[in-house]
C-alpha cells in the first residue's frame, strides 16, 4: 500500500516539473516575441515620422501662400467693388440727365409748332445758301480751312456784345474765337472791337495788337467779361475797321460774329459797306468779310426769330459781296 503511494507521488512530481518547463518556455517565447515586435514597431514609427514632418512643413508653406493670395484677391475685390460703385453712380447720373433731356424734349414737342417750322425753314435756307456760295466761289483749295480763306495777314474781330449773345452764346463765341485764331498760326496784326466800333483794348486804339501767344491769351481772357453796349447792328464796326486799318499793302480779313440784326434796312447796310469797301485797281475789295451766325434766338425760348432771320440774310449777302464766307452754327455749346 505504501509502496503504491510512493509511486503515485513520484509520477505526480515528474508531471508537475514538465508542465512548469513548458509554461516557462512558452512565457519566454512570448516575451521574446514582444521585444522583437516593439523593436520593429519603433523603427517603423521613426521611419514614418520623418516623412510626416516634411509633409507638415510643406502644408504650412502652402497655407502661407494661400493666405497671401487671399489678401491680394481681397484687395482686388475691394478695388473692383469701388469701381463698380463709381460706375453705378455714373449710370445714375446719366439716367437722371437722360430723364431731364426727355422732359425737355417733351416740353419742346408741346411748344408752338410754328416756331419749329420757322427754325426748320431757316436752317434749310442757310444750308441751301451755303451750298450756293460754295458752288459760286472757287478759291484755291490750298488757301482754305473749313471753307474759309486764310490768306490774310491781318484779322479784325467785330463782335456783337448784346445781352442775348453774352447770356447765351458767350462760351461758344470764345471757342470760335480760339478756333479762328488757331487757323492763323501767325499774322502781322490782330484787332478786336464790338459791332459799334468800340475797342477791346483802349491802349491799342487805331493800332494793331501784336500777334504773340500772350496777346492771344489776353484777348480770350478779356472776352470773358467784355460787355460794352451794342445796338445789334455790325455796320458801324465794319465801317470803322475798314477806315482805320485798310492799307494797300495789307491783306485784311474781318470776322463779324453775332446773332440778330435790329437795324432798319438790310439793303442800306449792304450799300454802305459796299461804298467804303470799294474795289481797288486790282478788281478786289479792300478787305475780306467773313460772318458767323449764332442760333441764339432759334434755340432759346422766347427768342426773336424775325431779327435772327434778318441777321442770317444780312450775313449771307455781306460775306458773299465782300469775298468772304458765311458760317451758320447749329448749336450754342462749345464743341
* Residue 118 and residue 87 share a domain: no
* Residue 170 and residue 63 share a domain: no
Q: How many domains does the chain have?
A: 2
pLDDT attached to residue 76: 79
Structural domain contains residue 280: yes
Torsion angles phi and psi, residue 47, rounded to 5 = -65, -35
As given in the structure block, the three cell numbers for residue 310 are 434778318
* Residue 278 and residue 131 share a domain: yes
Lowest mean pLDDT among 123-132, 169-178, 261-270: 123-132
* Residue 268 and residue 159 share a domain: yes
Confidence of residue 240 (pLDDT cuts 50, 70, 90): very high
Structural domain contains residue 321: yes
* Residue 205 and residue 146 share a domain: yes
Domain CATH number, residue 179? 3.40.50.410
* Residue 90 and residue 132 share a domain: no
Last residue of a domain, one of 43, 76, 110: 110
pLDDT attached to residue 145: 46
pLDDT attached to residue 50: 56
pLDDT tens per residue across span 184-229: 989 999 999 999 999 999 999 999 999 999 999 999 999 999 999 9
pLDDT surpassing 50 at residue 143 = no
pLDDT attached to residue 142: 41
Structural domain contains residue 10: yes
pLDDT attached to residue 51: 55
Of 279, 299, 277, give the one whose Cα is nearest residue 156: 277
In percent, the amount of the chain with pLDDT more than 90 equals: 41
Structural domain contains residue 335: no
pLDDT attached to residue 248: 87
Domain span including residue 52: 1-110
pLDDT surpassing 60 at residue 135 = no
* Residue 165 and residue 82 share a domain: no
As given in the structure block, the three cell numbers for residue 328 are 451758320
pLDDT tens per residue across span 70-80: 888 888 788 88
pLDDT attached to residue 23: 72
Structural domain contains residue 66: yes
Q: 146 — alpha (psi -120 to 50), left (phi > 0) or beta? A: left
* Residue 210 and residue 99 share a domain: no
Q: What is the mean pLDDT of the chain?
A: 80
pLDDT tens per residue across span 11-62: 555 555 666 666 777 767 777 777 666 555 555 545 554 555 667 778 888 8
* Residue 154 and residue 77 share a domain: no
* Residue 202 and residue 79 share a domain: no
Structural domain contains residue 320: yes
pLDDT attached to residue 123: 63
Inter-residue long-range contacts of 312-316, CB under 8 Å, 24+ positions, other chains counted: 312/122, 312/125, 312/126, 313/266, 314/261, 314/266, 314/269, 314/270, 315/256, 315/258, 315/291, 316/126, 316/129, 316/133, 316/291
What's the distance, CA 4 to chain centroid? 132
Q: Which residue has the higher pLDDT, 49 or 119?
A: 119
Give the 3-state DSSP-derived string for the chain, with helices as H, strands as E and coil as C. Answer: CHHHHHHHHHHHHHHHHHHHHHHHHHHHHHHHHHHHHHHHHHHHHHHHHHHHHHHHHHHHHHHHHHHHHHHHHHHHHHHHHHHHHHHHHHHHHHHHHHHHHHHHHHHHHCCCHHHHHHHHHHHHHHHHHHHHHHHHCCCCHHHEECCEECCCCEEEEEECCCHHHHHHHHHHHHHHHHHHHHCCCCCCEEEEEECCCCECCHHHCCCCECCCHHHHHHHHHHHCCCCCCCCCCCHHHHHHHHHHHCCCCCCEEEEEEECCCCCCCHHHHHHHHHHHCCCCCCCCCCCEEEEEECCHHHHCCCCCHHHHHHHHHHHHHHHHHCCCCEEECCCCCCC
Last residue of a domain, one of 65, 82, 110: 110
* Residue 134 and residue 104 share a domain: no
pTM score of the predicted model: 0.58
* Residue 62 and residue 141 share a domain: no
pLDDT surpassing 50 at residue 140 = no
Amino acid at each position: 500500500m505504501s509502496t503504491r503511494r510512493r509511486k503515485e507521488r513520484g509520477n505526480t512530481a515528474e508531471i508537475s516539473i514538465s508542465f512548469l518547463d513548458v509554461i516557462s518556455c512558452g512565457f519566454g517565447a512570448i516575451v521574446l516575441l514582444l521585444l522583437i515586435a516593439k523593436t520593429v514597431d519603433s523603427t517603423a514609427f521613426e521611419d514614418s515620422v520623418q516623412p510626416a514632418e516634411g509633409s507638415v512643413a510643406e502644408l504650412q508653406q502652402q497655407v502661407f501662400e494661400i493666405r497671401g493670395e487671399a489678401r491680394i484677391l481681397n484687395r482686388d475685390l475691394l478695388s473692383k467693388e469701388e469701381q463698380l460703385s463709381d460706375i453705378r453712380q455714373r449710370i445714375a447720373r446719366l439716367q437722371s440727365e437722360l430723364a431731364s433731356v426727355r422732359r425737355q424734349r417733351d416740353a419742346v414737342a408741346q411748344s408752338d409748332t410754328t416756331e419749329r417750322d420757322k427754325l426748320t425753314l431757316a436752317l434749310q435756307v442757310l444750308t441751301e445758301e451755303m451750298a450756293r456760295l460754295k458752288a459760286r466761289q472757287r478759291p484755291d483749295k490750298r488757301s482754305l480751312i473749313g471753307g474759309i480763306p486764310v490768306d490774310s495777314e491781318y484779322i479784325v474781330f467785330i463782335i456783337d456784345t448784346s445781352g442775348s449773345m453774352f447770356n447765351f452764346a458767350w462760351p461758344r463765341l470764345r471757342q470760335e474765337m480760339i478756333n479762328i485764331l488757331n487757323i492763323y498760326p501767325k499774322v502781322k496784326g490782330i484787332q478786336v472791337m464790338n459791332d459799334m466800333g468800340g475797342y477791346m483794348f483802349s491802349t491799342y486804339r487805331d493800332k494793331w495788337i501784336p500777334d504773340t501767344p500772350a496777346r492771344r491769351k489776353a484777348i480770350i481772357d478779356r472776352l470773358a467779361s467784355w460787355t460794352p453796349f451794342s445796338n445789334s447792328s455790325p455796320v458801324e464796326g465794319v465801317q470803322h475797321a475798314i477806315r482805320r486799318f485798310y492799307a494797300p499793302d495789307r491783306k485784311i480779313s474781318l470776322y463779324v460774329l453775332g446773332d440778330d440784326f435790329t437795324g432798319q434796312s438790310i439793303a442800306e447796310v449792304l450799300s454802305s459797306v459796299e461804298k467804303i469797301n470799294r474795289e481797288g485797281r486790282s478788281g478786289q475789295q479792300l478787305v475780306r468779310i467773313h460772318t458767323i451766325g449764332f442760333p441764339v434766338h432759334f434755340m432759346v425760348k422766347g427768342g426773336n426769330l424775325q431779327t435772327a432771320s434778318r441777321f442770317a440774310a444780312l450775313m449771307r449777302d455781306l460775306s458773299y459781296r465782300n469775298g468772304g464766307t458765311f458760317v451758320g452754327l447749329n448749336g450754342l455749346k462749345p464743341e
